[in-house]
Amino acid sequence: MASNKKYWKSEAELSPNNSIVEQLRQNEFPEEVPVDEFLGDKEGLAATTTNRRDFLKYVGFSTAAASLAACEGPVNYSIPYVVQPEQIIPGVANYYATTIANGYDFASILIKTREGRPIKVENNKDAKSNNGANARIQASVLSLYDSSRLQGPMAGEEQTDWDTLDATVKATLNATQNSGKKVVLLTQTYASPSTDRLISEFQAKYPNVSHVTYDTISEDAALSAFEARYGERALADYDFEKADYIVGIGADFLADWQGGNFDSGYSKGRVPKNGKMSRHVQIEANMSLTGANADKRIMLKPSQQKIALAKLYGKLNGTTVGGELPEAAERALDQIAAEISKNRSGAVVVTGIDDVNAQAVVLEINEMLGSKAFNPSAPRYIRQGSTAAVNELIADMNAGKVGALLMDGVNPVYSLPNAAEFLEGLAKVDVSVAFSTLWNDTTAASKFTGASNHYLESWGDVQLKKGHYSLMQPTIKELFDTRQFQTALLKWMDNDVSYYEYVKATWNENILNGSDWNQALHDGAFVASGDMTSEATAAPADAAEGAEEAMTSSVVPVASALRALASSPSSDMELVLYSKVGMGDGQQANNPWLQEFPDPITRVSWDNYLTVSKADAAKLGFENEHVANGGLDGSYATVTVNDITLKDVPVIIQPGQAPGTVGLAFGYGKKTGVREDMQVGVNAFPLYQNFSTIQEAKVTKAAGMHEFACVQLHKTLMGRGDIIKETTLEIFNTKDHAEWNHVPQVSLNHQEVPATTVDLWEGFDRSIGHHFNMSIDLNACTGCGACVIACHAENNVPVVGKKEVRLSRDMHWLRIDRYYSSEDTFEDDNEKKDNLSGAIGSKVGFEEMEDPAVNPQVAFQPVMCQHCNHAPCETVCPVAATSHSRQGQNHMAYNRCVGTRYCANNCPYKVRRFNWFLYNNNDEFDYHMNNDLGKMVINPDVTVRSRGVMEKCSMCIQMTQKVILDAKREGRTVKDGEFQTACSNACNNGAIVFGDINDENSQVAELKDNDRMYHLLESVGTKPNVFYHVKVRNTEKA
């Protein structure tokens, strides 16, 4: 039964003899809170010159002064436009379709603008591909208003003007024509048809120009494998919605693997429909977001993953492949192979191992299976970097062969593993120009810096995948004297055409094929019609044919690849570098929203860290401990890879980390051009040797303890285990919902009745008008956190900083709780023990049971204000600042709140947030609300809260009210789907659905009637308006 499953938040809870856990059942804080420090300091009190009477005088005076000051209001000015643009109406938002393409994140998005200011990123639901904005893309609008942005071109550290820069570059371009030196463009991946055309024209004018594409986090192996097989440097596309059986081997495909944006398809397949859902097996070393969502997770070192991949191929192909694997893994692979062979075309195998052989084998497997989810005929172009070319460039630079280096969208001095070599070479280049929005290590080392446009100020286009185009249009005029790289190229070519005209011309000539440019620009995305039809009909046939061809043509290379994989050498400690959901490749390290975004797995914000398994931590002496103020501390480690040493890397003991491996995230440790508060973490790029995320490492303990800012660290669930409900697909399909979705019972008149039927309060009639409900499907939620940032942006949630987060004063209105769990029940453990058979079986079985913390299951649960119909917060407010509406929303009137915090204490869900400080206009909180530029992102429809008031999720009442008003004005009823919140809008996975349950035909009403529906803490009787859907796992029992 699902409700008996044991959940835990820290390993300490699993030990029955742990005194701390016993203590915690009674006390919230493990150690005594040191109140004496500030209350009992007799000496300090005696020494002060302010006595009680003086204090009262001060209070009296300041109160009087404040009241007098309040009598005089300020004079406000209203300055209308001189000539108002036709489409701008003050107070009404405009939406523009555009595209983000910063070399790491590629997506079709909508930008909401108010009075000409972009304030929010939304998903472009009409786009056919890459239409989901992840957390980083959601936050990218704040980077536009970064007060440390470059405001004009620079020569070294001096300001210069564009004319000087243009003249120098042009002179160099002309001078190098005959000198035999090369001019190199070192850029991010653009995947842009117009930029490609522009660069080839540039090369035609200056024949010594070469173009090197550099991806900060490389997909070179996958690109090379695809190129070898299909003759095009691209990445295969996958549609996980079509997959019934997914095997991921070291591939974090729900995050950023091969460009990301696979999660919405994945989630659609994960919701049980007609008794079916996809099954997902993940073989990995780090506990990744993808592994956390898997039905079965197998921990293997990267070297073993390679062998496992080779063996899986062998088992599917009926051949024998050598190599050593642990017994359990071997059996698991047998099972995978058996399950795949039941429905070969429904299966798909993906891998993230940075090894051409591994990537080639995966392509081979998917071809062999004829996988429906695998689509090599419309490949993705959003990664094009070549590590070989980058290395060659560095060699050329050092040999003095490069006359000019023009860089855009890259920061090689920070992100190259061999940055020192690059720097040396850069000094030998005659003219170097780096285009960037921010001052960084590369601009500091370049002769010139081109202040670049933010993507929201730029024109552009992207071919996301074959035939799928997307347009980028500016949503605001350049804030500063900046220029996008393409415009600069045009200038240097003496071409007077603007880049807008250039893009338009490219589209009219090559892409639109007669379709309307304005329509394409309006939609933001365009699918070439020819490609659409051929894809739809020809893809499966292609795949089948391709499979046969591949079998015959590529036997030899696959065989050698398999041999290479099977003989992968193992090492004692393997380091797996990864990118965090919040930080990616570190481009937006200066973005406070992303810094404060807690990692979905570790729930740590403002840091990166070495994830270590418990066994290794014990071996190496690493510790994690909670201190009295509620913070988490961790030991420091020294990590060495091939003579390169990273010192003082903080350690997190991560359940689910494969023993013998450690993980470390990219994107942190930036110092140059990053505001002091955001110079956090360590830079992992120096360890990224040969552009491989898998490294052999030596890890030792260093002195000292690191202070983390972790948002979820209560050691226990305080006996509220039923907050998450889950079951297996088998039970879900065969048993009555009362069994797997157990409603807590209470005693009424000495009879056990379901808690939901008992009501202490008189209910309020909510059947008239709108009644908003939110549905959260724990099956569809991958924990990606896009909703968290969307909520941040929509509701002007302040950033509080690392120190405050550590004091549990984080302000996120919406949090995604992460729970670990092991076996279903302790009875299950006993049963398992009794049924073990054979020497090997019992050894493995006992090993598994020995420590459930080794490889736990993970569940994500987004929690925001539950908008209880019987809200405990409302009854305790002494000033009636929080009250209920007939539409189901729990209102919070900030201007009425006096800050007693009773409501937060009485809230069973802990979703209320208190403003301990004034976070705006306060230089103590130097994030974005204290400068004019950063304030431009503030949503004018939501109050910016002041100090001393409670705040919480409003269920985006500003959005629901707007929908109602629009309907009233147009004299029509509201259609289903119109009501949205920031989080439901941001959720591209369909996990969060919002709507009006009084509209019987609405999606949310249907979801409420679903058997999987339950409320949080039903036994409390709060009757929330947010409900959840029981998580169903497709475990092997199914």
Partner 1 sequence: MKKVLNRHQIATVLGISLFVTLLFSAPLSAQEAAEPAAAETETASQASDESAGDPAKGKQLFNQNCAACHALNRKMTGPALANVESRLAEEEGLGKDWLYAWIKNSPAMIASGDAYANEIYNEYNQAAMTAFPTLSNEDIDNILAYTSAPPPAPPQTTAVPTGGETGTGGGSGISNDLILGALVLVFGILVVMLFLVNSTLKRIAEASGVVIEKEKTEKRTPIWKAFAQNQFLVLVSVIFLMLVAAYYAYGWMMQVGVDQGYAPVQPIHYSHKIHAGDNKIECKYCHSSARVSKHSGIPSLNVCMNCHKSIYEYKGNPEGPSPEDLANGYTNEFYTKEIKKLYKAVGWDETNQRYTGETQPVEWVRIHNLPDFAYFNHSQHVSVAGIECQTCHGPVEEMEIMYQYSPLTMGWCINCHRETNVKVEGNEYYEKIHEELSKKYGVDQLTAAQLGGLECGKCHY
Binding site for partner 1 (CB under 8 A): 70-84, 89-92, 765, 767-769, 881, 883, 885-887, 889, 891-896, 941-944, 954, 957-958, 961, 964-965, 967-969, 971-974
Cα 302 to Cα 284: distance, rounded to the nearest angstrom: 7
HSE of 435, CA atoms in CB hemisphere, 13 A: 25
Residue 941 tokens read as 């429809």
With beta carbons less than 8 A apart as the criterion, state whether 185 and 408 touch: yes
DSSP state of 510: I
Distances 865 to 13, 91, 474, 980 between C-alpha atoms, Å: 27, 28, 36, 16
Of 192 and 1002, CB closest to partner 1: 1002
What residue spans of 187-280 are helical by DSSP H? 193-205, 220-230, 263-270
DSSP 579-608: --TTTTTSTTTT-HHHHHSPPTTT-EES--
With beta carbons less than 8 A apart as the criterion, state whether 246 and 239 touch: no
Reported as type and span, the H/E element at residue 914 is strand 913-914
Closest distance between partner 1 and the C-beta of residue 76, in Å?
4
Amino acid at residue number 244: D
Closest distance between partner 1 and the C-beta of residue 879, in Å?
11
| Exposed / middle / buried, residue 890 (Cβ in 10 Å: 0-12, 13-18, 19+) | buried
Of 115 and 339, CB closest to partner 1: 115
Closest distance between partner 1 and the C-beta of residue 871, in Å?
13
Cα 502 to Cα 392: distance, rounded to the nearest angstrom: 31
Residue 920 tokens read as 């705006």
Closest distance between partner 1 and the C-beta of residue 980, in Å?
16
CA quadruple 223, 227, 229, 231: dihedral positive or negative? positive
- Side by side, the strands of the sheet bearing 7-8 are 7-8, 815-821, 857-863
Closest distance between partner 1 and the C-beta of residue 937, in Å?
17
Closest distance between partner 1 and the C-beta of residue 798, in Å?
15
Of 587 and 889, CB closest to partner 1: 889
Cα 949 to Cα 897: distance, rounded to the nearest angstrom: 6
Of 17 and 78, CB closest to partner 1: 78
Of 94 and 825, CB closest to partner 1: 94
Of 766 and 802, CB closest to partner 1: 766
Closest distance between partner 1 and the C-beta of residue 941, in Å?
7
**Beta-strand runs (E) in 814-904:** 815-821, 857-863, 882-884, 890-892
Q: Which residue has the tokens 């370049």?
A: 446
Cα 245 to Cα 347: distance, rounded to the nearest angstrom: 4
Of 187 and 773, CB closest to partner 1: 773
Of 18 and 998, CB closest to partner 1: 998
Cα 913 to Cα 953: distance, rounded to the nearest angstrom: 9
Closest distance between partner 1 and the C-beta of residue 67, in Å?
8
Q: What is the dihedral of CA 133, 136, 139, 143, to 10 degrees?
A: -120
Closest distance between partner 1 and the C-beta of residue 867, in Å?
11
DSSP, collapsed to helix, strand or coil, labels residue 415 as helix
From the list 636, 691, 560, 679, the residue with the least C-alpha distance to 223 is 691
Of 76 and 274, CB closest to partner 1: 76
Closest distance between partner 1 and the C-beta of residue 964, in Å?
8
Q: Which residue has the tokens 């081109």?
A: 450
DSSP, collapsed to helix, strand or coil, labels residue 698 as strand
Of 444 and 967, CB closest to partner 1: 967
Cα 284 to Cα 762: distance, rounded to the nearest angstrom: 53
Q: Which residue has the tokens 């050092």?
A: 398
Closest distance between partner 1 and the C-beta of residue 14, in Å?
43
Closest distance between partner 1 and the C-beta of residue 946, in Å?
9
Of 895 and 1001, CB closest to partner 1: 895
Closest distance between partner 1 and the C-beta of residue 893, in Å?
4
Closest distance between partner 1 and the C-beta of residue 870, in Å?
17
Q: Based on C-alpha coordinates, what's the Rg of the chain?
A: 29
Closest distance between partner 1 and the C-beta of residue 954, in Å?
5
Cα 985 to Cα 786: distance, rounded to the nearest angstrom: 10
Of 320 and 973, CB closest to partner 1: 973
Of 210 and 883, CB closest to partner 1: 883
Of 234 and 997, CB closest to partner 1: 997
Of 557 and 872, CB closest to partner 1: 872
- Collect all residues with Cβ–Cβ distance below 8 Å to 777 and sequence separation of at least 6: 271, 990, 991, 992, 993, 1007, 1012, 1028, 1029
With beta carbons less than 8 A apart as the criterion, state whether 484 and 459 touch: yes
